[in-house]
Structure formats: structure tokens, C-alpha cells
Amino acid sequence: MNVLGQLSVYPTADPRITRITELAYNLWWSWHPEAQALYQDIDPDLWKLVNQNPVLFLRRVGQQKLDRVANDTAYVDRYNAVMNAFDIYMHPDQTWYSRTYPDLRDRQIAYFSAEFGLHESLPIYSGGLGVLAGDHCKAASDLGLPFVGVGFLYPQGYFQQRIDSEGHQQAVYAKLNFADVPATPALDASGNEIIVSVNLPGRAIYAKVWRIQVGRVPVYLMDTDVARNAPADRELSARLYGGNQELRVAQEIVLGIGGVRVLRALGLQPSVWHMNEGHAAFLQLERIREHVQEGGLSFADALWAARADALFTTHTPVPAGNDAFPPNLMERFFSDFWPRMGIGWEQFWNLGCFEYPWGPQFSMTVLALRTAGRANGVSRLHGVVAREMWQSLYPNVPLPEIPIGHVTNGVHSDSWLDPEMAALYDRYLGPAWRERLDAPATWQGVYQIPDQELWSVHADAKRRMIDLVRERSANQLARIGADPAEINAASVMFDPNVLTIGFGRRYATYKRATLIFRDQERLKRILNDPKRPVQIVFAGKAHPADEPGKSLIQFVYQMSQQPGFAGCIVFVEDYDTNIARHMVAGADVWLNNPRRPLEASGTSGEKASLNGVPNLSVLDGWWVEGYNGQNGWAIGEEREYSDEAAQDEADALSLYRLLEDEVVPLFYERDEQDIPRGWLAIMRAAIASVAPQFSLNRMLKDYVNQYYIPAGALGQKLAGENYAGARALSDWERRVKSAWPQVHLRASGPASGEIHVGQSIKVEATLQLGPLNPDDLSVELVYGQQQDGNLKTALVAPMLEDGNADGQLHYSVNLSSPDSGRFVYGVRVRPNQPDLPNPFALPMIRWA
């Protein structure tokens, strides 16, 4: 045959189920099991083969199978019910946001992230940061926020992990076919595909924009693999977190600067700009440039305008983990940009300059902190760590007052809840419990679930997890050429009746994946106890350039092959959200042992407890707030160590003791019906305490109330009358800085003394204003407990003006303490203006 051409013929859905294609392009299906079942029931094997991707599924499914379900009355009824629920969801009468803030429904929130973990069929995420971003979008959709996401659609995504026969991690990249994923080209108001450009040294680079619909929320993702770019530039967005510093700075220019231009091309004018980690911080440079070049503002005016409505969330608890670039790189990439911001090199450099031990670098975190009016860490403890890390940016500000707050991470419940467990909650938590996810009262119903039912549902989830572990292990062994006996053994490995520990996360060294192996003989005794055996499922990826992290994976894998560990320990390759969902629902206990305080938050344990899986965790990240003594176990003490070896030893000993004396005995303590009543009490406490407090709904409401609404309001205020408010703030800043050398403060009060709770002492101050007005300054008494030379707590009492003599103002306050203890106090003066986004946005303080 002489072949003239090739055709691809795709199936066509019957009119009775035609909207099944529309549904595939909205990731609403990803957190609604009944929607996923519509595809799975057509061809279960194909659904599994395409990794639960309905777009690819509909391109490959046979026409006869589509026709068969279209003629199945029961199937069509289920289809109609799903589509009706989808339509109600997409066009609600009201949402939480519209009820709470009815006048702000048109004030859009723009959320920038380098990765979005929306579903395993869209592998453009590496770990917790991306999964959190995906959950953030899903909850924003559920709550009805006017929300839009901005990021990259990486053609090669994040790597597929392959483990060879020696345990080495190998990174395999497979190019995404965008026709096979739920992405469509983004269109402008005229219906044209959107392509944006940014300048790199000596050239422009172009990015095509794709749209992913996540319920009611659009997420716009850029891709530089377009014909107008040079071959090297077409690869710029190929991989997540790939390449050298030059590639990284180029990617972040496209993400930040290009991302702003995407929104402009869409005709969007966000009221709030949220940077999820420092990767997107260049967006603030572009916004300043817009204000200067297009709005006619000075740089100083533009900086205040950009600060007012911007929020920065930091996730990284060590300075070296934050992206930073050397001066020569920044000068080369931005030499034509800072003139358009109305400034010179030195002023530009100072926006991000931070002194590292190896020299000055342009830190993306510092840029974000200096240009965003609000900032937060992702747990209460991480807020403390972040304030300590960046204390040098706020000279003379007491540590507790450094303007970095916290919103503890949560999880999107519907995305991580096992469907059978969700059905159990449907029966016992009352109608519409999903509308009250963050209300503790909602979850009291778990105490009404009969023990037998709760244990049975968990046992089913555990069996499904073990089935997946067996399948993945057998496939991995077959791929590396293992003998048939090994493959057969893997296909029946692990006993569903044995206590199973889950450990699934990114393999960074601080997460200490190998801590449990510190005393191997002791661990073998725990695992191989003939009456109370234990088995452990490990999974996770290390960054391709992280050799120490890859060594941890190799160690775990090799241990799993050793006598005493083989058959009790398994490492499951290619960790993704599908494996994660099975593990957080199917494990009996969730292990997390990072080196405190380096776990900024963590969310895998929250997902586990949502499913009734208790945590066995170091008191770090979210678990400091979540642990209550009845809902799991705390490894080690709530403290830091100066000696890492001592910390590892202490935590390992605590872990072994807990397993031997508490966790394992309680799991195997059964009644005559073989039900572990005591274990079920821990499971219930885990659900009831963790599910509401660490719901993404609670987290997002915190963001809305604490950050989005105040930032949007200040942004609107400063933008009014052609940015009159921003100009006024800029003028005020210049006036205060000019007069600051003439400001002097003296104070008097007892140098030492003793008082009782309820008594007070009088503290007085005298202020010399210079040319400033009293309203320009705030005189405050600050007191609190001291630790290691820093204030551990800081309470602030404004001092009231009560006299004026010889050009000096007199202030006083009566200091009393509601609690006993040892306190120190001081008096300060700082610039004060009601439109400051935080009290130290102009970080100038003078202490008496």
C-alpha cells in the first residue's frame, strides 16, 4: 500500500452523554468521585492506564464502549445527576465569599505559583508547595472567591522516578501532549490566543498561555515552546526546577513579569497579588514599572502602590533554600529594566540585596519582603522561624513584632478523603457537612460511628493501598529484570492485618527519611516480632540535583532488600498524588520525623488524620498546633538542638520507645471481636481534632480575613484619585526620612522594681519632633519576657501625649501586667501613618 497520510479518529459521545467531554476539561471532576466513576465505569482498565486522565481517556476509549453506556439507563441517570450537581456548583445562588463580602465580589485575587499540584494526570508539581497551590485553587473555587491562578505549564513536567536494581533514582522526562490534558488555549476578548513576551539579554522571549479550569477558578499557565522562540528558549519552561541559575532567573522573569502581562492581556485588574513563595517576586518589579511608565508615578510612589495590595507567603525555613542570584547575573538580565522603573542600578540592587556567608546576592525572598506590604509563614512555628531568619531586614524591631505573620496550611478535604470514608461521614456527620468543614462541631459526629464500621472502612482503604504497593513493586521488579520468583513475591507482599507505617514525602535531608534505621537491630526486632509485626511503606522523590537526597532513597531501597527488612519494608517508586491518596488513607499510622524546626508546615499528616490515620511525628510544622495528647504521638521534645547528632539520637530513641511501648501494643490490643477499641479512639480523636482545624477552608478564610480583604482595601484606597494615596505616602516617607535625624526621645521609669499583678508603674517620655507633626510619629511602650537577648513576647502600649513645653511633647503611660513573671520594657518612637500596610513598612525605630 502506498500510504498517502494518517488520520486520528476519536470517539464521539452520544447526545445523551455528550457533556462528558465538557466535564473532562474542568478539574471539578478531580475531587468528585462520582464524576470520576463516569469514566472509570466505561473502561476500568483504560482509566487506570491513562492515570485517571479523562481527556486522554476520551481520546482512546472505544466507540462501542461509549455507545454501550449511553444505552444503559442506570448509567445515564448517574450521568444526569453528576451534570446537575456540576451545573449547580458552577452557577451557585451564593457562596461563602458572596455571603460574607457581598460588595467585594468583583475584586479579583491573583495567585502566582511556580507549580500547581492539581492532579496526577497533570504532572507539573514536585511536592508540597505545588499540592498546596492546587488545593488553594480548589478551596477558592468551593468558597466562591474571585480568584485566578498564574504559573507554568511545563511541557516535560516534573520527572518520572525510576529506581534501578541498586536503588539509584533515575529521572525520566516525558513530554506532555497538551491535547491529552485538560488545558485549552487562553483567549483574549477578541477570541485570539494569548501570547506574551518578556525581554531577556539580547532578545525577547514569547510564551503561549493555556487555561486550566479548576471548578469556578481559572488557572493560566505559560509555555515557551512556541515557534517564535529560539530553540534554547523553547526549552526554557520545559521542566520544573531544572537547569542552572541563568535558566532559573529566566524562568522567574517569565513567571513574574510575564505573568502580570498575561493578566493584562486577559483584561484583568486584580485587587490583591499573592506570591506563593519567592519564585514569582519579579511580578512586583513589573507592577512598579507599570505604575512608573504607564501611570506616571515616581518610583517611590509606585513602590507604595505595589506594596499596598501584595502578599508574600514564604515556605522555606533556611536562608540558603531561597532563590538568590549574584550581581553580575542580575545586572545582565535587568540592565534595560531598572531605567523603566525610574531608578538606577544601586537602588534596584538594594531591593533584593542580602548578605549571605558567600557574599551579597539578590534574594527573591528579600525582594518580596521589601515590596509586599504583608507576609506570612505557613505555620505558627514557621512564623517564628521566618521572623528570626529575616530579622536583619527590620533593624531595631523586636523579634515578635517583625511583620511576618502566619497562616497554618490546610488540605482540600474532598481531594484527599477516601471515597468510602467520605460515604461514612455522609451517614454520620449530618446533611451538608461539607459546607461546614472548618467547624469543630461538624466532626463530633465521628464519635457516633460504630467501631465495626470505622474499622471496616479503614481496612478496605488499607487493602487498596497494599494492592497498589504490590502492583507497583512487581512492575518495578519486572522492569529491572528481576527473576520471576521475586516478582511473584512482590505481588503478594505485605499482610493487610499487620500494623503498617506510611512515610511519603520529598526526600530532602532535613526530613530524615532514614532516622528509623539508626539502630537497625532494634528496628528488626520491632518489625519481626512474631506476635506483633510491623511493616513500612516508603515513597517519595528527591530533586534530580540533590545527591544527598537521592542517597537517602538508595539507602532505604537497599535496606528493603536486606535480611530482617525484606518483606517488611518497601520503597514505592514514582510518588505522585495517586500514591499519596492511597497511602494517607491506607496506612495505619503516619510517620514524620523532620529535623525541628525545618519543616515549615507539612500537610501529608493532615491528610492522613482526615482519613482517621494517626500521626507519629516530631513536634514541628503543623503538628505543634495539631497534637493534643489524644490524637497521635509526639516524637521527641518541643525544643531545638545545637548538635544534630544529639538531636538524631534523642529523636530516634523516642521513636523506638513510642513504637515498642505505645503504638504497636495499642494496635494489637483487640477485644473478642478482634476490634482495636483503643486504637479506634485515637483514630476518632485524630479526625475530630485535625479535620476542621487543618481544613483548607479554614486556611483560606484566614487568608481572606487577615490578608486579602485588608490588602485589597488599602490598594483601592491608595489607587483612588490617580494614586493620590500612594503619592501622599511617598511624600510622607520623604519628609520623615529627611527629618528623622532631628527626632530625639528620652524616657524615664523605674530601672528595677517589684509590683504585683494589678498594680502599675508610670513611665514617661519626652519627644523632640523636629519639623514633623505629632501625627507622623507614634510613641510606644514595649514590654515582654526576654530570652537570649531577644524579646520572647512583645506587648505594645501606645503612650498618650499629656503636655507640651519648650517645643517638646510629653507622653506617659501606666504599665501593668496581667500576668506574673520577669519582664523588661522600653520606649520607642516610630513613623506612623494610618495607610501603612504594616507598622514597620517603613522600618525606622528610635529607642529611648
Q: What is the tens place of the pLDDT at every residue in 600-624?
A: 999 999 999 999 999 999 999 999 9
Q: For the residues 162-189, what does the mean pLDDT come to?
A: 92
Mean residue pLDDT of the chain comes to 94
Is the pLDDT higher at 787 or at 661?
A: 661
Phi-psi label, residue 847: left if phi above 0, alpha if psi -120 to 50, beta otherwise: beta
Residue 175 has pLDDT above 90, yes or no: no
Please say whether the dihedral angle defined by the alpha carbons of residues 312, 316, 320 and 324, taken in this order, is positive or negative: negative
pLDDT per position as a tens digit, 686-718: 999 999 999 999 999 999 999 999 999 999 999
Residue 234 has pLDDT above 80, yes or no: yes
The pLDDT of residue 539: 97
Q: For the residues 518-535, what does the mean pLDDT come to?
A: 97
Q: For the residues 174-192, what does the mean pLDDT come to?
A: 92
What is the pTM (predicted TM-score) of this model? Answer: 0.96
The pLDDT of residue 817: 79
Give the DSSP H/E element, type plus range, for residue 706: none
Report the chain's C-alpha Rg in angstroms.
29
Residue 5 has pLDDT above 90, yes or no: no
| Whole-Å CA distances, 581 to 127, 578, 584 | 13, 5, 6
Q: For the residues 510-518, what does the mean pLDDT come to?
A: 96
The answer to which of 318-322, 440-444, 713-717 has the lowest mean pLDDT is 318-322
The pLDDT of residue 133: 97
Q: For the residues 631-654, what does the mean pLDDT come to?
A: 94
Residue 317 has pLDDT above 90, yes or no: no
The pLDDT of residue 462: 98
Residue 758 has pLDDT above 80, yes or no: no
Q: Are 208 and 194 in contact (CB under 8 A)?
A: yes
Q: Which amino acid is at 452?
A: Q
Q: Hey, what's the cell of 498?
A: 499487620
Q: Which of 470, 536, 476, 538 is nearest to 507 (CA)?
A: 538
> Percent of the chain having pLDDT more than 70?
100
Q: Sheet containing 589-592: give its strands across.
A: 569-572, 534-539, 499-504, 589-592, 615-618, 632-635
Residue 629 has pLDDT above 80, yes or no: yes
Q: Which phi and psi angles does 717 have, rounded to 5°? A: -65, -45
Residue 259 has pLDDT above 80, yes or no: yes
